[in-house]
Chain A
Amino acid sequence: MAQAETVRSSLAESLASETAGDSIEYLSRGKLIRRRFWRHRLARLGLPVLVALYLMAIFADFIAPYPAHTRLKGFKDAPPSVIHFGMDGNPFQPYIYARERSFHPKTFREIYTEEEDEKYPIHFFVRGEPYWIMGLFKLDLHLFGVDEDTNITLFGTDSVSRDLFSRTVIAARVSLFVGLGGVAISFVLGCLIGGVSGYFGGIIDEVIQRIIDLLIAIPTLPLFMALSAAIPREWPVAHTYFAITMVLSIVGWTGLARVVRGKLLSLRDLDFVVASRLAGGSDLYIIWRHLLPNFASHLIVTMTLAIPGMILGETALSFIGLGMQEPGISWGVLLEDTKNFGALVHQPWKLIPALFIIVTILMFNFVGDGLRDAADPYSL
C-alpha cells in the first residue's frame, strides 16, 4: 500500500515536472537519449572524468612542469614531493622542502631527506621551457613550478631522474588518442566493408564473412606482435604512432563490420527502404539517408566500448617493447620501469601511470554502458 503511494506520488511529480511551463513538452529523440544517458549514474561520473583526462592530454605541455626527457640532476628514483601549506603568512600558500640525497651504506640505494629549513614556494603560471600548443602557438607558460634550485616531482622520478608527473601527463597524449585514432580507422573500414556485405548480400557477403571469420580466428596478441615487429625501429615517433594505430584497427574493424552487416540485413527489406528504392534512390543515398541513421546509436556504443580495448592493446605492446619506443612515450612505455618488481617495494610510485590506465578504461566502460542504455530510447 505504502509502495503504491510512493509510486503514485513520484508519477505525479514527474508529470508535474514534465508539464511544467507552458504546455506539454515534446521530447525529441536526442533529448530522450540525453535524458537516459544522464540517468545512468556511472556514466554521469565517467563523462566528466574522460573530458578532464582528454583536456589534460591536450594541454599536457602546459600542465607538466618539465619536458618529458629532462633529467633532473641529483633526483634519481626520488619519491613524490610532499606538499605543505602555509608560508609567508599565507595559510594556503603551498610549498615543498629542498631534498638532500644520500646513499644507503650497504645497498647504495638513494635515500632522500627533506631539508626543513629550505622552503620553496610552489608558484603558479610560471615561465619555463617553451613548447608548442597544438602546433600553433609557442608558449613558455606552465601551470606550476618551483625555483631553479630544487625540483618538484609530484609522482616521483624514474630510474634516469625524469619527472614522472610530467611524463605521465605527456604520455597521456599517445595513450588516449591511440584509441580514438584506432576506432576512427576501424569505423571507416567496418562501415564500408560491413555495409557492402550486408547491403548487397549473396556471394560478396559470403566471401567477406569468411574473411572476417579467418581474421577473428588468428589469436590477437601474436598478430599484434608480428605486425608491430614489422614496424622499423628507426622510424620517427609520429610514424610509429600511426603504424600502431593501424595495427590496432586491423583487428578492430571486424567487430564493427559485423554490427553494421547484421543491422543492414535486418533493415534492407523493410518497407521504407523498398519505397525509397522504387522512388529511384541510389544505393549510396539509401545507405546514408535511411539505413545509417537507424543504427548510428548502436555504432556509437560499439565504438565507445572498442576504445578501451585499443588503449589496453597499445599499453601491452609498449610494455613488452613492441609499441611506442623512446623518445615517444605512452603509459605502457612508462610501465616498463615496473618490470623489476623488486624495485617496486622501494619505489611504489612507479605504478602511478597504471592508475591512469585503470581509471581511463573504467570511465570508458561506464560511458559505454550509459550509451548502451540510452541508444534505444524508446525501449522500456
Chain B
Amino acid sequence: MLRIIVRRIFILIPMLLLLSMISFIIIQLPPGDYLSTYILRLESQGLVVDESEISRLEQRYGLGRPLYTQYFRWMRNFIVNGDLGRSFGSYGSSYDNKPVADIIAERLPATMIISIVSTIVVWAIAIPIGIYSATHQYSLTDYLSIFIGFIGLAIPNFLFAIIIMWIVFAQTGHAVTGLFSLEFKHAPWSIAKVIDMLKNVWVPVLVLATAGTAGLIRVMRANLLDELNKQYVVTARAKGLSERRLLWKYPVRIAFNPIFSTIGWLLPAMVGGEALVSIVLNLQTIGPVLLTAVLRQDMYLAGSIIMILSALTLIGTLISDIALVWLDPRIRYD
C-alpha cells in the first residue's frame, strides 16, 4: 500500500512539470503577446507609446527573451521563492503588477465557499434521492428524479443563472449580481456581511448544485440498481437479513465507489463550471480572472491558475485512488 502511494507520488512530479509547461504553451497560443495587445489598446485610445516606455515594460515583464527562458525564470522563481510572478493587469488596473499569489489568495475564499457549499448541497440532496430512486424503481419519485436529472443535464449552467436572475429580478426587482451589496463589498467580515452574502450566494449555489445533483442522482441510481440485482443480495435476503441492514451494509457502500473515484475532480470541475456562472453573476471568484487573463495573455496569472487547477486534478485523482483502495478491499493495485 505505502509502496503504491510513494510510486504514484514519484510519477506525479514529472506530470506536474509537464503540466506547467503545457499551461505555459497554451497561454502563448493566441497570436501576439500581452505587450503588443496593450500597446494596441493604448494606441486605439489615441495615446502615443514611445520606445523607452516599451523597452521599460519589456524589461519589467521580461518579455523580450525567448519563450523557454521566460518559462525557466518563472519556474525557478516559483520553486526557489514560491513566487508565481506578477499580473500584467489584465483584470482591471487594481491588479496591475500585483503578485499572482496575492490575486489567487484574494479570490480563493469566495471560490471555495461556493464550491464547498454547493458540493455539500449536491451530496445532501443527490445521495438520498439516488438511493430512494433505486430502491423504488419506476415509482413516481423515481420518474421525478429522472426528470430532474435530465433537466439539470440539458440546461447549461450559465443559461440557468441567467434564467434565475431574470425570474428573481422580474418578481422582486432585486438584482442578484455579485456576492455582496455595495456597502459590504470592502467591509471586513462581520455577521451583517455574512447575512448580506446569504442573500446572493444561493443563486450560484443553486445553479451549480442543480447540475451536480442531476449527474450524481443518475450515477447513484445506476450503480445501486446494478448492485441490487446481484446474487449476494438475494442470498443475504434469503438468509433473513433485514432490508435496511441489507441495503446499507453492502450495496450502498459499493455504489459509493464511483463517487469517491471522482472526488478529486470536484474542485477543478467546480472552478471550471463556475467560471461562466461567475461571469454571468459577476462574482469575485477565480473564474472571471482566468478568462480575462487567458484572453489578454496575462501569462503568469493565467499560467499559474491553469497549473494549480491541473495540479489539483492530479493530486485529487491520487487521493481518490487511495480512498478507493481503503474503502473497497477488493481493489488492489499491483
Chain A residues within CB distance 8 Å of chain B: 210, 213-214, 216-223, 225-227, 229-230, 232, 308, 312, 315-316, 319-320, 322, 335, 338-339, 341-342, 344-345, 348, 351, 354, 357-359, 361-362, 365-366
The verdict on A358 contacting B306 (CB below 8 Å), with A222-B272, A229-B29, A365-B150 known, is no
Beyond the given A230-B29, A316-B276, A320-B276, please list 7 additional residue pairs across the A-B interface where CB-CB is below 8 A: A214-B19, A218-B22, A222-B26, A226-B26, A344-B162, A357-B154, A362-B150
A20 to B274 alpha-carbon distance, docked (Å):
58
Q: Are B26 and A223 in contact, CB atoms less than 8 angstroms apart?
A: yes
Assess whether A227 is in contact with B155, with CB atoms less than 8 Å apart: no
Contacting pair A219 B155 (CB below 8 A): no
| B272/A219 in contact, CB under 8 A | yes
A229 to B314, CA, bound (A): 26
B26 and A227 within 8 A (CB) = yes
B residues neighboring A (CB under 8 Å): 15, 18-19, 22-23, 26-27, 29-31, 150-151, 153-156, 158-159, 162-163, 165-166, 169-170, 175, 268-269, 271-273, 275-276, 279-280, 290-291, 294-295, 302, 305-306, 309-310, 313-314, 317
Query: A218-B19, A316-B276 given as contacts; is B159 within 8 A of A226 (CB)?
Result: no
- Smallest CB-CB separation from A343: which chain B residue? B166
What is the minimal beta-carbon distance from B168 to any residue of chain A, in angstroms?
A: 9
The answer on a CB contact under 8 Å between A217 and B295 is no
The closest CB in chain A to the CB of B23 belongs to A218
Contact B170 A345 (CB under 8 A): yes
For B306, give its contact among A218, A345, A365 (CB under 8 Å).
A218
Q: Is the CB of B159 within 8 A of A345?
A: no
On chain B, the residues within 8 Å of A339 by CB distance are 162, 280
Q: Which of A219, A220, A345 contacts B169 (CB 8 A)?
A: A345
B309 A219 Cβ-Cβ under 8 A: yes
Q: Is the CB of B162 within 8 A of A213?
A: no
User: Nearest chain A CB to B229's CB is how many angstroms away?
Assistant: 9
When chains A and B are docked, how far (Å) is the Cα of A348 from the Cα of B163?
Answer: 10
Residue numbers in B under 8 Å from A365 (CB-CB) = 150, 153-154
For B26, the chain A residues whose CB sits under 8 A away are 218, 222-223, 226-227
B266 to chain A, nearest CB (A): 12
Contact B291 A214 (CB under 8 A): no
16 contacts between A and B (CB under 8 A): A210-B15, A213-B15, A219-B309, A221-B276, A222-B26, A225-B291, A232-B31, A308-B153, A308-B154, A341-B165, A341-B166, A344-B166, A345-B166, A348-B166, A354-B159, A358-B159
How far apart are the CA atoms of A359 and B162 in the complex, in Å?
18
Which B residues lie within 8 Å of A214 (CB)?
15, 18-19, 22
Bound CA span A30–B172, Å: 56
B276 surroundings in chain A (CB, below 8 A): 221, 316, 319-320
Chain A positions within 8 Å of B290 at CB level: 222, 225
Interchain CA distance A104-B27 in the complex, whole Å: 48
In the complex the two chains form, is B29's CB within 8 Å of A227's CB?
A: yes
Q: Which residues of A contact B268 (CB under 8 A)?
A: 219
Known: A214-B19, A365-B150. A222 touches B159 (CB 8 A): no
| A341/B156 in contact, CB under 8 A | no
- A183 CB to closest chain B CB, in angstroms? 18
Query: Which one, A213, A229, A348, A361, contacts B153 given CB within 8 A?
Result: A361
Whether the Cβ atoms of A222 and B302 lie closer than 8 Å is yes
State A222–B27 Cα separation when bound (angstroms): 10
Chain B residues within 8 Å of A361, by CB: 153-154
- On chain A, the residues within 8 Å of B155 by CB distance are 358
Whose C-beta in chain B lies nearest to the C-beta of A225?
B294
CA distance A213 to B30 in the complex (A): 24
CB contacts (< 8 Å) of A348 on chain B: these are 166
Choose among B156, B162, B314 the residue that contacts A315 (Cβ–Cβ < 8 A).
B156
The listed residue (A210, A220, A341) touching B162 by CB distance below 8 A is: A341
Q: What is the minimal beta-carbon distance from A50 to any residue of chain B, in angstroms?
A: 13
A322: which B residues are within 8 A, CB to CB?
295
Contacts of A366 in B (CB 8 A): 150
CA distance A322 to B155 in the complex (A): 20
Bound together, the chains give a CA A315 to CA B162 distance in angstroms of 14
Complex CA gap A83/B266 in Å reads 49
Contact of A217 among B29, B163, B166, B313 (CB under 8 A): B313
Closest 8 CB pairs of A and B: A361-B154, A230-B29, A362-B154, A226-B26, A344-B166, A221-B272, A217-B313, A229-B30
Q: For residue B279, which residues in chain A have a CB less than 8 angstroms away from its CB?
A: 320
Flag if A357 contacts B150 (CB, 8 Å). Answer: no
What residues of chain A lie closer than 8 Å to B159, measured between beta carbons?
335, 354, 357-358
On whether the beta carbons of A342 and B313 are closer than 8 Å, the reply is no
Residues of A close to B165: CB separation below 8 A: 341
Nearest A-chain residue to B177, judged by Cβ: A341
Chain A residue nearest to B16 in the complex (CB): A217
| A281 vs chain B, min Cβ distance (A) | 33
In the complex formed, the residue of A with least CB distance to B153 is A365
A319 and B158 within 8 A (CB): yes
Q: List, in ascending order, chain A residues with CB within 8 A of B295's CB.
A: 225, 229, 322
